[in-house]
Amino acid sequence: MFSIVKLILRYNSTIKIKPFFTNSQSRLAKTFHPAILKTMKNKLFRLHNPFPPSGSQPQAIEKLSQARPGKSTLVGVTGSGKTFTMANVIANQDKPVLVLAPNKTLAAQLYEEFSLFFPENKICYFVSYYDYYQPESYMPAQDIYIAKETKVNSEIERLRVEAAASIINRRDTIVIASVSCIYSLGNPTDYKNLALSLKVGQEISRSDLIRQLIFIQYKRNEMDKSSGTFQVMGNTIEVNLPYQKEKLRIEMFGNTIESMQWVSKHNNTVVTVLDNTLVFPAKHFVTTEDAKNAAMKTIQAELDDWAPQLANPIYHERIKTRVAHDLEMLNEVGYCSGIENYSVHFDGRRPGQKPYSLLDFFGDEFLLIIDESHVAIPQLKGMYAGDKARKKSLIDFGFRLPSAKDNRPLMFEEIETYFNDVMFVSATPSDYEIQSSDTIVEQIIRPTGLVDPEIEIHSRIGQMDHLVDQIKQTTEKGFRSLVTVLTKKLAEDLARYLEEKQIKVCYLHSELKTPQRAELLQKLRLGVFDCLVGVNLLREGLDLPEVALMAIMDADIESYLRDKRSLIQIIGRAARNTQARVIMFADNMTKSMRGAIDETQRRRTLQQAYNKEHGIIPVSAKREVVKSIVNIQEAIAKASNANKRSKKKEEKEKVQQDSRLRMIELEMLMRKAADSLDFERAIAYRAEWMQLKKENPL
């Protein structure tokens, strides 16, 4: 409760404040901004401060807190502690929070950091739950139809359900999400209304309780006790909720709930005794029986209206056959493949009306933080157009009804309607963020006193010899080097060339999977490699204090990877070491180069002036070299590996089953050939049968 008071006292010892339990309300009103006073009273989020704000952080925290609600931008240089500033702003307000990151890796890092900052609050993780995703598509020119193929990660699926349930169930929730949060999700009203309310003493039969659990997508499974399942043992029912660490034990006496407890999944010991609880659905997409029946009628009506409009008889028959099959499946089992394409019918939305997404689960009031907004905003803008182009050919050629296009991500104009209280965070915000914001806050001074690196420009003539020489000098000092090029092929070729020059080097680009990238970065920090060559992956999200040289090849080629914003981001990779330098290899001074150099020099001048005024001696950033993959990624990887093992097992069983069926068929063919006196054929069948028996012993 006193953390903010203590924070201010550290920076202004002249302020004398008595405990505000006494009659000091007027005194506090004069001393603190109203936004901070509000925080002291509510304290929805309790921030565990590992250290006090310093550098530009105190001013940035105050200005951004005062700007709530509203649109604001935090322009924070690399290494200035933007995440810690975000955490303080969250602690100074009283609404649930959605933090949007441009990729899964950064989202996982933010999840781990916020879990440490807010251990008493609920931190959730919401990203795409596919380990592998091949969307349904049709290529008319080649007449090739590609069916949807997916592999769902069970751990991410559990985390997604946990996020939705937590938003509805408690306000002190922070959700770290990727752009997956703008994709179609179930109706939050249905999700909330279908939650099963249970209390001790409630009259309900065991069979009715089981039936209701199955209706909200829980599966009865006595062997597999994974999330979303329940087990029945006499009068005891144990439910494994996707959003709860403990399992729910419900004990019945006749047709009455006698007791309920949260029970440890590992030790089977009672953690908490409950009087009442809510059991939220195990899946996002849930609906009532009435809604399903109504949806089937509107699907049939749309088919009757659309099919005659398809002039080609093949397309006409294709859509009629497909929809008839889907309706039959919905009627018999309540589900069909590609059911999401009928979401507009189940949700009761009008054609063209925006779909429900995770953003709708928050309601009207929540704080939205878009991290690395210069990357995330273009992603948000591009998602709808890509989905629309893919759906158009499916609809035109009779694979889907026109309503399939309404199962889509949000348009950017629709996303903007949620920007009531939004904070953009970036070292290089784009024009959109600057023009949209009412408040722009710069965070230039780093807590460590580090200044932006010096920039050198070197001609392309003799660039390879100069690069090799600089890398070796950097290695001799005990530091590492990063080299960025324009293409993956160049990265591989340059890595091979440097290896020939006796430099311990590796390359890094998009074809390497996330765990491999994390492992390479860890090896670079440990000194297994002295140099890393990469493309765009050397920009955002790398925290490498050991790097003292950043070499930019082809710096004067104007492009997406060499514009002002990209160059500033690349320069920032070397801003965590006091010995760091940046070398641009170029023959001409481009507009982007000049802009990046001028901005870096401006920041450097401000940082040096601040250090001189406060007597600060810069020190290199320090970060323990630990296992690079964070805990949540480890859990996801385990689930993915388990999924692979399960798939391999299924494939092996299928092969064995097919072999046994073939053996039975061969026995029949042998007898038939022998009866026909075709002994050569019978011998060939017997040889194949013997081989199959050898490969698949019983």
Q: Which residue has the higher pLDDT, 22 or 541?
A: 541
Residue 498 confidence (pLDDT) above 50: yes
Q: Distances from the Cα of 392 to the Cαs of 136, 138, 386, 387, 416, in angstroms?
A: 12, 9, 10, 9, 25
Q: What is the pLDDT of residue 186?
A: 73
The pair of three-digit structure tokens given for residue 656, joined into one six-digit string:
């064995």
Q: Which residue has the higher pLDDT, 4 or 299?
A: 299
Given pLDDT bands bounded at 50, 70 and 90, which one contains residue 623? low
Q: What is the pLDDT of residue 100?
A: 93
What is the average per-residue pLDDT within 46-72? Answer: 89
What is the average per-residue pLDDT within 640-652? Answer: 58
Query: DSSP characters for 364-378?
Result: S--EEEEETHHHHHH
Given pLDDT bands bounded at 50, 70 and 90, which one contains residue 281? confident
Which tens digit of pLDDT belongs to each residue from 348-366?
788 888 888 889 888 888 9
Which tens digit of pLDDT belongs to each residue from 370-403?
998 988 999 898 888 888 888 888 998 889 999 9
Query: Cα–Cα distance between 420 and 428 in angstroms, integer?
Result: 22
Closest CA relative to residue 618, chosen from 444, 479, 451, 443? 451
Q: Which residue has the tokens 């309780």?
A: 209
What is the average per-residue pLDDT within 438-459? Answer: 90
Omega of the bond prior to 453 within 30 degrees of 0, cis? no
Residue 513 confidence (pLDDT) above 90: no
Q: What is the pLDDT of residue 644?
A: 54
Q: Which residue has the tokens 């689960």?
A: 361
Q: What is the pLDDT of residue 28?
A: 34
What is the average per-residue pLDDT within 59-67? Answer: 92
Task: Give the distance between the most distant pair of CA atoms in the chain.
Answer: 111
Q: What is the pLDDT of residue 652?
A: 67
What is the average per-residue pLDDT within 440-455? Answer: 89
Q: Which residue has the higher pLDDT, 29 or 448?
A: 448
What is the average per-residue pLDDT within 651-659? Answer: 69
Q: What is the pLDDT of residue 197?
A: 84
Query: Cα–Cα distance between 606 and 556 in angstroms, integer?
Result: 27
Q: Please, which contacts does 631-637 make with residues 24 or more away whose CB atoms are closer than 8 Å?
A: 631/112, 632/108, 632/111, 632/112, 632/125, 632/159, 633/105, 633/108, 633/514, 633/515, 633/518, 635/155, 636/153, 636/155, 636/156, 637/515
- Read off the amino acid at residue 219: K
Query: Cα–Cα distance between 92 and 4 in angstroms, integer?
Result: 9
Q: Which residue has the tokens 């997916």?
A: 150
Query: Cα–Cα distance between 330 and 27 in angstroms, integer?
Result: 66
Sequence-ordered list of residues with C-beta below 8 angstroms from that of 402, at least 6 positions apart, any chain: 302, 306, 351, 395
Sequence-ordered list of residues with C-beta below 8 angstroms from that of 339, at least 6 positions apart, any chain: 285, 326, 330
Q: Which residue has the tokens 């039959």?
A: 328
- The helix-helix angle for 57-66 and 34-42 (nearest 10°) equals 90
Closest CA relative to residue 371, chosen from 510, 176, 181, 563? 176
What is the average per-residue pLDDT within 509-531? Answer: 73
On average, the pLDDT of the chain sits at 81
Residue 10: CB atoms within 10 A of its CB come to: 11
Residue 520 confidence (pLDDT) above 70: yes
Give the range among 204-208, 311-315, 333-337, 400-404 with minimum mean pLDDT: 333-337
Given pLDDT bands bounded at 50, 70 and 90, which one contains residue 22? very low
Q: Which residue has the higher pLDDT, 225 or 40?
A: 225
The CATH architecture of the domain made up of 454-614 is 3-Layer(aba) Sandwich (3.40)
Residue 335 confidence (pLDDT) above 80: no
- The helix-helix angle for 631-675 and 679-695 (nearest 10°) equals 160
Q: What is the pLDDT of residue 280?
A: 81
Q: What is the pLDDT of residue 147?
A: 82
Query: Using an 8 Å Cβ cutoff, are 628 and 519 in contact?
Result: yes
Q: Which residue has the higher pLDDT, 503 or 511?
A: 503
Burial grade of 28 (CB within 10 A; 0-12, 13-18, 19 or more): middle
Residue 39 confidence (pLDDT) above 70: no
Query: Cα–Cα distance between 686 and 693 in angstroms, integer?
Result: 10
DSSP single-letter state for residue 242 = T
Query: Cα–Cα distance between 696 and 698 in angstroms, integer?
Result: 6
Residue 517 confidence (pLDDT) above 70: no
The pair of three-digit structure tokens given for residue 114, joined into one six-digit string:
């916020």
What is the average per-residue pLDDT within 255-273? Answer: 87
Which of 34-38, 434-438, 522-526 has the highest mean predicted lDDT (pLDDT)?
434-438
Query: Cα–Cα distance between 16 and 200 in angstroms, integer?
Result: 52
Q: What is the pLDDT of residue 27?
A: 34
Q: What is the pLDDT of residue 19?
A: 33
Domain boundaries, the chain: 45-173+359-443, 196-279, 289-347, 454-614, 631-695
CATH number of 45-173+359-443: 3.40.50.300
Sequence-ordered list of residues with C-beta below 8 angstroms from that of 129, at least 6 positions apart, any chain: 152, 153, 156, 157, 160
Phi-psi region of 246 (alpha: psi -120 to 50; beta: other; left: phi over 0): beta
Query: Using an 8 Å Cβ cutoff, are 436 and 381 in contact?
Result: no
pTM across the whole model: 0.74
Which of 48-57, 459-468, 504-513 has the highest mean predicted lDDT (pLDDT)?
459-468
Q: Which residue has the higher pLDDT, 521 or 47?
A: 47
Which tens digit of pLDDT belongs to each residue from 116-153?
899 889 898 888 877 667 888 888 888 888 888 777 77
Same fold across 45-173+359-443 and 196-279: no
Consecutive H or E run containing 388: helix 373-396
Residue 249 confidence (pLDDT) above 70: yes
Q: What is the pLDDT of residue 449?
A: 87
Query: Using an 8 Å Cβ cutoff, are 467 and 78 in contact?
Result: no
Residue 35 confidence (pLDDT) above 70: no
Residue 671: CB atoms within 10 A of its CB come to: 12
Q: Which residue has the higher pLDDT, 677 or 493?
A: 493
Residue 37 confidence (pLDDT) above 70: no
Residue 691 confidence (pLDDT) above 70: yes
Which tens digit of pLDDT belongs to each residue from 524-578?
888 888 898 888 755 545 677 888 899 999 999 988 888 898 898 888 888 888 8
Sequence-ordered list of residues with C-beta below 8 angstroms from that of 667, at least 6 positions apart, any chain: 689
Q: What is the dihedral of CA 134, 138, 139, 142, to 10 degrees?
A: 110
Q: Which residue has the tokens 């481009």?
A: 590
The pair of three-digit structure tokens given for residue 105, joined into one six-digit string:
């890796």
Q: Residue 155: how many CA atoms within 13 Å on its side-chain side?
A: 14
Q: What is the pLDDT of residue 21?
A: 31
Residue 220 confidence (pLDDT) above 60: yes
CATH of 196-279, one of 3.90.1150.10, 3.30.2060.10, 3.30.750.24, 1.20.58.340: 3.30.2060.10
How far is CA 37 from its chain centroid? 34
Query: Cα–Cα distance between 591 and 452 in angstroms, integer?
Result: 20
Query: Cα–Cα distance between 419 and 414 in angstroms, integer?
Result: 10
Q: Distances from the Cα of 586 to the Cαs of 119, 178, 457, 552, in angstroms?
A: 49, 36, 7, 9
Closest CA relative to residue 526, chosen from 504, 509, 510? 504
Residue 499: CB atoms within 10 A of its CB come to: 14
Q: What is the pLDDT of residue 221?
A: 85
Query: Using an 8 Å Cβ cutoff, are 488 and 508 in contact?
Result: no
Q: What is the pLDDT of residue 40?
A: 45
What is the average per-residue pLDDT within 472-484? Answer: 91
Among residues of the chain, what percentage have pLDDT more than 90?
Answer: 21
Given pLDDT bands bounded at 50, 70 and 90, which one contains residue 658? confident
Sequence-ordered list of residues with C-beta below 8 angstroms from that of 497, at least 6 positions apart, any chain: 464
